[in-house]
Chain A
Amino acid sequence: MKLPLKWLKDYTDIDVSPKEYAHALTMSGSKVEGWEVQGSEIDKVVVGRILSVEKHPDADRLLVCQVDAGTGPIQIVTGATNIKEGDLVPIALDGSSLPGGKKIKKGKLRGIESAGMMCSIFELGLTKDDYPDADEDGIFILEGEPAPGTDIKEYLGMNDTVVEFEITTNRPDCLSIIGLARESAATFGTSFSIPAVTVKELGGPVEGKATVEIKAPDLCARYAARVVENVRIAPSPRWMQERLRASGIRPINNIVDITNYVMLEYGQPMHAFDLENLKGHSIIVRRAEAGEIMRTLDGQDRKLDESMLVIADAERPVAVAGVMGGENSEITPETKTILFESANFDGISVRLTAKKLGMRTESSSRFEKGLDPENVVNALNRAAQLVEELGAGTVCKGVMDCYPKKAERKTFPFDPDSINSLLGTDIGTDKMLDIFRRLEIAIDEEAGTVTPPTFRRDLECEADLAEEVARFYDYNNIKPTLLEGRAATIGGKTAKQKVMDLIAQTMLSCGLSETYTYSFTSPKVFDMINLPQDSPLRKPIVISNPLGEDYSIMRTTTIPDMMKVLATNYNRRVEEAKLFEMSYVYLPKSLPLTEQPEERPVLTIGMYGDVDFYDLSGVIAELMEALGIGDYELEPVKDDPTFHPGRTARLTIRGANCGILGEIHPNVAENFEAAQRNYVALIDIDPLIRNSSMVPEYKPLPKFPAVTRDIAVLVDDGIPVRKIEKVITDRAGRIFEDVKLFDVYKGKQVPEGKKSVAYSITFRASDRTLTDEEVSKVMEKITKALMNELGAQLRM
């Protein structure tokens, strides 16, 4: 909402700098976005009268003009073609400045002296919206009879300061000059009054000239109309045009300008119909019929439905209520009789209609916030008064006012003590009452109640009053306190949150950096990771209004996102990436969604560069140790099409599947244009949390020495070492302490299809020193078992 400060002064007298004004209003709740001193960039530009126009002797396209710029004739060379002798034009004199920091100096053009420049609207920082009739490519030919030498800013009314407000949705009353003036007066403690509106009503009685009927009172609380005859369509006067322009609205003609002017001033959107084009001279406020089509003022055909409220005449819709008028009844230069509409439409209905039709207008954005039905006739009368002032027509006697159910004012209790105890303040009752009076809130001191005005529909309870008090007291004058003794709680993280922290901490310690990726993605990613066609993961939650297909489903796996991150880094020639993310996958329990889906926390790890599978499984080992999970296994996985069939493992904890880790299948890597080898793990976090034991159990340090024996065996290449280890640990008995793999060898001296595996096994007893024989016996058992169960050959 733009507020020209000169307009403000019609209602209250505030004389402070724009900066002070903006600060004060912001702190009392009307947020100022900024302000613009009109024409502040324009200096030494004046009105000039062209005295003569001659051709430039040496240039076909240039003209040499003598101009009266108030201080005697000066000579100006121009390339413009739209000027003639007698025209009044803006002249940028020698040493002048124009918007954009442009400086104008005298000089020579093709050898002829030029003492300045004639300006177009653009050079003055104006647009076609400000002056629709101005020549787009030429010099701005001024209308009227300004004296040469007049400052152009003064002549064009560009000497006001316009303050721009961001008005919150609860204060539609502040989407008006009057509303902002009321707030300004309350903020500065100045007096505020709305000048009385009188209408002479020189025309005949309105009765019989038109009828108004509301058929949908649930969507239209009030509809008032006036008729104006003998209309003379003409441009509106300069003062009105200047105010409209300053407010960002383009002047059109006197009648349309009046409706816009009143909308800005009173916050009440209005509309003017050509009464001759209203069939039956009747206004019927009703729901649209299904399939009805109406062409709106912007030239578009709009398909209407029963949910929409329209203004219709006896035969057809003539306006979408509160949104936009129809072309069939619009004001034209030939219009002789008009009907002014000032009405109150239901906010929700207007909002939904505007949304459905995809046309949010100045009018609809006001109505949707809920306007005051009591304002309807005031605004209508103000429009009628302006019609008379502008000589735009003859106002008929009387107002047609359909107001089936008068708006009620809500009365509720007011207790200064409870306001103070909510705010933590000690504000006197008198001070509160003074604030209420300035806001036109009626007070019944005896009953201890207040009744806000109808234009303040946002004031519904005591908490609302507390805000009114606080914002004029200034929030920042409230003494900061720290809940002394109140809401005493211990707080802290839950066990689950602590495990989550530990997981992240372990990843960081392992050298993985943390990533954040979007939780919605494209349905194409399933094919990119070779996900089987029948996988349940291919049935994601679909967003009904996504930003595009690439962001249209909630992810059911994070592998594609990790692959994208790896590929991005790879393609930017980052040598190595080691990453993790703690996030969620979204798994619907039913589709379409009827109950809350499972949001399953997952840990995703991804790496490429100087790394291999064992870097990845090493991270998992660290994680398991950090979480105190000893009972886990990695089992080979050969049939997951996302992964390399020979370099992938399933993570199980106590036999339950908890995730997968491995090298990404080269086909998948190609799909993402990633590095040749990428190692990715996707681990469910819940089983980690369930199985973690955060407090480690202490075991006494050994008192007796250990015995270590090495063993090397030849086995089939296909036997996982974990299997060999199991045989060893199973047979080592009670004196077993540890087994360490120290060599896996294939190649020379090892037959094809075999590998040599070497372990170092440690034995220890807690109560004595082991003897050689004891250990040898166990070693023999182990060796035998390896030979019998795995077909191993002992290597010497």
Chain B
Amino acid sequence: MREQLNNIKLEAEKRLNQAGSLAELESIRLQYLGKKGELTAVLRGMGQLTPEERPQIGQLANEVRSFIEKILEAKTKSLQEKERLSRLEKEAIDVTIPGKRRFIGKKHPLSIVMDEIKEVFIGLGYEIAEGPEVELDYYNFEALNIPPGHPARDSQDTFFINDDFLLRSQTSPVQIRVMEKKKPPIKIICPGRVYRSDAVDATHSPIFYQVEGLVVDRGVTMGDLIGTLQLFARSLFGEDTRIRLRPHHFQFTEPSAEVDVSCWSCGGKGCRMCKDEGWIEILGAGMVHPNVLRICGIDPKEYSGFAFGLGVERTAMGKFNIDDMRLLYENDMRFLRQF
């Protein structure tokens, strides 16, 4: 009997090691350990043994059983693992097939630029001010130190509704409306739509966007204006950007300046973008004219301020290398999806 058990042990071990599938393992299990299995048959024959032999054989039989069970378990695990592996292999997909996209909408390039500008100035403590587009002549011109008959009115080909109302030709009237209502310190930017009677072409649009800024408080200097614009230019066009101010004339600022930034395309060496000048004009700026402060009820002896403004279209066109302003208002999906 002992020999029989040893045979079962050796045979089962051999068969188990050769088994290649879970089904085979199961049939091996049944063959040896099942109710009608060989080991069970041996145990049934224990009755014929002597009382001395019985515990010894019983112990051996248990050893054989647990030996077989152990191998069976290990083998089952490894076969299960193998089968899972082969299933996973079969489940392989082509991961380069394009994913299921949601196609999130795209922000318009003008919004992208305006949002960037807003972010910079909000970070510096500015508020965003808004005002009407159908504006009174008073706010668009007179309060900005441009009285009736002044030649500066001609330089902004204005759309008129009637003698009193017009389509604002600049966002500066918003500054006046804010200064009328609010006491310094004032720190605002006014992004908005403005209108000038220019025929539509690659570089002109009768409707375009400006962002203007205004700061009024005690002791505000031209140095503060320059520092602010320098910071702004760096945020918008990159850390290495330099600015250059040239004296200019605006009715509502004194001193006034036009502001160039070093060309974002060539960094100032000169290229097609900057017409070999190394500089691109993007801003107008200056110290708020004392007459303007006075008109708004702010004492120019006590307060001073600076203002600046830029055209959003030209900035966006420069930033994104857009060569035709018409694209911005045509809204071709193939254009819009690029931003």
A569 at the interface (CB under 8 A from B): yes
With contacts A368-B151, A543-B159, A593-B134 taken as known, whether A517 is within 8 angstroms of B329 at the C-beta atoms is yes
Q: Determine the distance from Cα of A627 to Cα of B186 in the docked complex, in whole angstroms.
A: 31
Q: Determine the distance from Cα of A430 to Cα of B42 in the docked complex, in whole angstroms.
A: 124
B70 at the interface (CB under 8 A from A): no
Chain B residues whose C-beta falls within 8 Å of the C-beta of A248 in the assembled complex:
none
Q: Closest residue to A365 on the B side, CB-wise?
A: B151
Chain B residues whose C-beta falls within 8 Å of the C-beta of A463 in the assembled complex:
254-255, 287, 289-290
Interchain CB contact (< 8 A) of A599 among B126, B133, B222:
B133
Q: Closest residue to B293 on the A side, CB-wise?
A: A463
A480 at the interface (CB under 8 A from B): yes
Interchain CB contact (< 8 A) of A482 among B228, B330, B333:
B228
B333 touches A569 (CB 8 A): yes
Annotate B101-128 by CB proximity to A: 1 below 8 A, 0 otherwise. Answer: 0111111101100000010011011111
B221 touches A487 (CB 8 A): no
Q: Which of A481, A541, A569, A593 has the most CB of B within 10 A?
A: A481
A347 at the interface (CB under 8 A from B): yes
Q: Closest residue to A512 on the B side, CB-wise?
A: B105
Chain B residues whose C-beta falls within 8 Å of the C-beta of A347 in the assembled complex:
149, 151
A421 at the interface (CB under 8 A from B): yes
Q: Which of B187, B256, B333 has the most CB of A within 10 A?
A: B333
Chain A residues whose C-beta falls within 8 Å of the C-beta of B197 in the assembled complex:
545, 547
With contacts A422-B287, A481-B224, A515-B336 taken as known, whether A545 is within 8 angstroms of B159 at the C-beta atoms is yes
Chain B residues whose C-beta falls within 8 Å of the C-beta of A492 in the assembled complex:
122, 127
Chain A residues whose C-beta falls within 8 Å of the C-beta of B122 in the assembled complex:
491-493
A546 at the interface (CB under 8 A from B): yes
A551 touches B206 (CB 8 A): yes
A514 touches B207 (CB 8 A): no
B: contact size bracket: 35 or more
Q: Determine the distance from Cα of A355 to Cα of B160 in the docked complex, in whole angstroms.
A: 16
**How close is A221's CB to chain B, nearest CB, in angstroms?**
16
Annotate A589-604 by CB proximity to B: 1 below 8 A, 0 otherwise. Answer: 0001110110100000
B249 touches A168 (CB 8 A): yes
B104 touches A508 (CB 8 A): yes
Q: Determine the distance from Cα of A672 to Cα of B66 in the docked complex, in whole angstroms.
A: 85
Q: Determine the distance from Cα of A508 to Cα of B111 in the docked complex, in whole angstroms.
A: 12
Chain A residues whose C-beta falls within 8 Å of the C-beta of B128 in the assembled complex:
493-494, 497
A233 at the interface (CB under 8 A from B): no
With contacts A422-B304, A593-B162 taken as known, whether A508 is within 8 angstroms of B121 at the C-beta atoms is no
A488 at the interface (CB under 8 A from B): yes
B223 at the interface (CB under 8 A from A): yes
**How close is B197's CB to chain A, nearest CB, in angstroms?**
6
B58 at the interface (CB under 8 A from A): no
Chain A residues whose C-beta falls within 8 Å of the C-beta of B186 in the assembled complex:
487, 489
B136 touches A596 (CB 8 A): yes
B149 touches A351 (CB 8 A): yes
Q: Closest residue to B330 on the A side, CB-wise?
A: A568
Q: Determine the distance from Cα of A471 to Cα of B248 in the docked complex, in whole angstroms.
A: 9
Chain B residues whose C-beta falls within 8 Å of the C-beta of A31 in the assembled complex:
246, 248, 258
Annotate A283-296 by CB proximity to B: 1 below 8 A, 0 otherwise. Answer: 00000000000000
Q: Closest residue to B259 on the A side, CB-wise?
A: A475
Q: Determine the distance from Cα of A510 to Cα of B110 in the docked complex, in whole angstroms.
A: 20
Chain A residues whose C-beta falls within 8 Å of the C-beta of B219 in the assembled complex:
421, 486
CB contact list, A230-280 vs B, under 8 A? none
Q: Determine the distance from Cα of A565 to Cα of B327 in the docked complex, in whole angstroms.
A: 12
B132 at the interface (CB under 8 A from A): yes
With contacts A169-B155, A507-B105, A514-B108 taken as known, whether A481 is within 8 angstroms of B221 at the C-beta atoms is yes
Chain B residues whose C-beta falls within 8 Å of the C-beta of A584 in the assembled complex:
133
A479 at the interface (CB under 8 A from B): yes
Chain B residues whose C-beta falls within 8 Å of the C-beta of A461 in the assembled complex:
254, 290
Chain B residues whose C-beta falls within 8 Å of the C-beta of A770 in the assembled complex:
none
Stretch among B19-27, B71-79, B210-218 lining the A interface: B210-218
B17 at the interface (CB under 8 A from A): no
A519 at the interface (CB under 8 A from B): yes
B174 at the interface (CB under 8 A from A): no
Annotate A448-482 by CB proximity to B: 1 below 8 A, 0 otherwise. Answer: 00000000001001111011001100011011111
B152 at the interface (CB under 8 A from A): yes
Q: Closest residue to A576 on the B side, CB-wise?
A: B333
B185 at the interface (CB under 8 A from A): yes
Q: Determine the distance from Cα of A478 to Cα of B287 in the docked complex, in whole angstroms.
A: 14
B230 at the interface (CB under 8 A from A): yes
Q: Determine the distance from Cα of A102 to Cα of B28 in the docked complex, in whole angstroms.
A: 101
Stretch among A22-30, A58-66, A85-93, A699-707 lining the B interface: A22-30
Chain B residues whose C-beta falls within 8 Å of the C-beta of A464 in the assembled complex:
254
B184 touches A577 (CB 8 A): no
**How close is A605's CB to chain B, nearest CB, in angstroms?**
11
B227 touches A480 (CB 8 A): yes
Interchain CB contact (< 8 A) of A475 among B149, B230, B247:
B247
Chain B residues whose C-beta falls within 8 Å of the C-beta of A497 in the assembled complex:
128
Q: Determine the distance from Cα of A170 to Cα of B248 in the docked complex, in whole angstroms.
A: 10
A424 touches B221 (CB 8 A): yes
**How close is B229's CB to chain A, nearest CB, in angstroms?**
8
A580 touches B105 (CB 8 A): yes
Q: Determine the distance from Cα of A510 to Cα of B105 in the docked complex, in whole angstroms.
A: 7
A70 at the interface (CB under 8 A from B): no
Chain A residues whose C-beta falls within 8 Å of the C-beta of B264 in the assembled complex:
none
B227 touches A481 (CB 8 A): yes
Q: Closest residue to A472 on the B side, CB-wise?
A: B247
**How close is A483's CB to chain B, nearest CB, in angstroms?**
5
**How close is B280's CB to chain A, nearest CB, in angstroms?**
15
CB contact list, B292-320 vs A, under 8 A? 304
A490 at the interface (CB under 8 A from B): yes
Annotate B57-99 by CB proximity to A: 1 below 8 A, 0 otherwise. Answer: 0000000000000000000000000000000000000000000
B246 touches A475 (CB 8 A): yes
B328 at the interface (CB under 8 A from A): yes
Annotate A489-511 by CB proximity to B: 1 below 8 A, 0 otherwise. Answer: 11111100100000010011111
Q: Determine the distance from Cα of A424 to Cα of B220 in the docked complex, in whole angstroms.
A: 8
A579 touches B207 (CB 8 A): no
Chain B residues whose C-beta falls within 8 Å of the C-beta of A171 in the assembled complex:
249
CB contact list, B145-183 vs A, under 8 A? 148-152, 154-155, 159-162, 164-165, 167
A82 at the interface (CB under 8 A from B): no
A352 at the interface (CB under 8 A from B): yes
A487 touches B217 (CB 8 A): yes
B334 at the interface (CB under 8 A from A): yes
A650 at the interface (CB under 8 A from B): no
A490 touches B125 (CB 8 A): yes
Q: Determine the distance from Cα of A147 to Cα of B134 in the docked complex, in whole angstroms.
A: 68
Chain A residues whose C-beta falls within 8 Å of the C-beta of B249 in the assembled complex:
168-171, 458
Interchain CB contact (< 8 A) of B160 among A462, A544, A554:
A544
A489 touches B187 (CB 8 A): yes
CB contact list, B36-53 vs A, under 8 A? none
Q: Determine the distance from Cα of A142 to Cα of B137 in the docked complex, in whole angstroms.
A: 57
Interchain CB contact (< 8 A) of B221 among A422, A511, A593, A594:
A422
Query: 12 more A-B contacts (CB under 8 A) besides A483-B217, A483-B224, A509-B104?
Result: A27-B247, A169-B249, A347-B151, A486-B219, A491-B126, A508-B107, A513-B107, A514-B106, A518-B329, A547-B200, A580-B105, A596-B136
A-B contact pairs, 11 of them (CB 8 A): A348-B148, A352-B149, A475-B245, A479-B223, A486-B219, A491-B125, A508-B104, A519-B133, A572-B334, A586-B133, A599-B132
Please give the residue numbers on chain B whose beta carbons come within 8 Å of chain A beta carbons, in ascending order. 102-108, 110-111, 118, 121-122, 124-128, 132-134, 136, 148-152, 154-155, 159-162, 164-165, 167, 184-187, 193, 195, 197, 199-200, 206-207, 215-224, 226-228, 230-231, 244-249, 254-258, 287, 289-290, 304, 328-334, 336-337
Please give the residue numbers on chain A whose beta carbons come within 8 Å of chain B beta carbons, in ascending order. 26-29, 31, 168-171, 347-348, 351-352, 355, 368-369, 421-425, 458, 461-464, 466-467, 470-471, 475-476, 478-483, 486-494, 497, 504, 507-520, 541-547, 551, 554, 565, 568-569, 572, 574, 576-580, 584, 586, 592-594, 596-597, 599
Q: What 4 A-B pairs have minimum CB-CB distances, sorted nearest first?
A: A424-B223, A424-B221, A29-B247, A348-B149
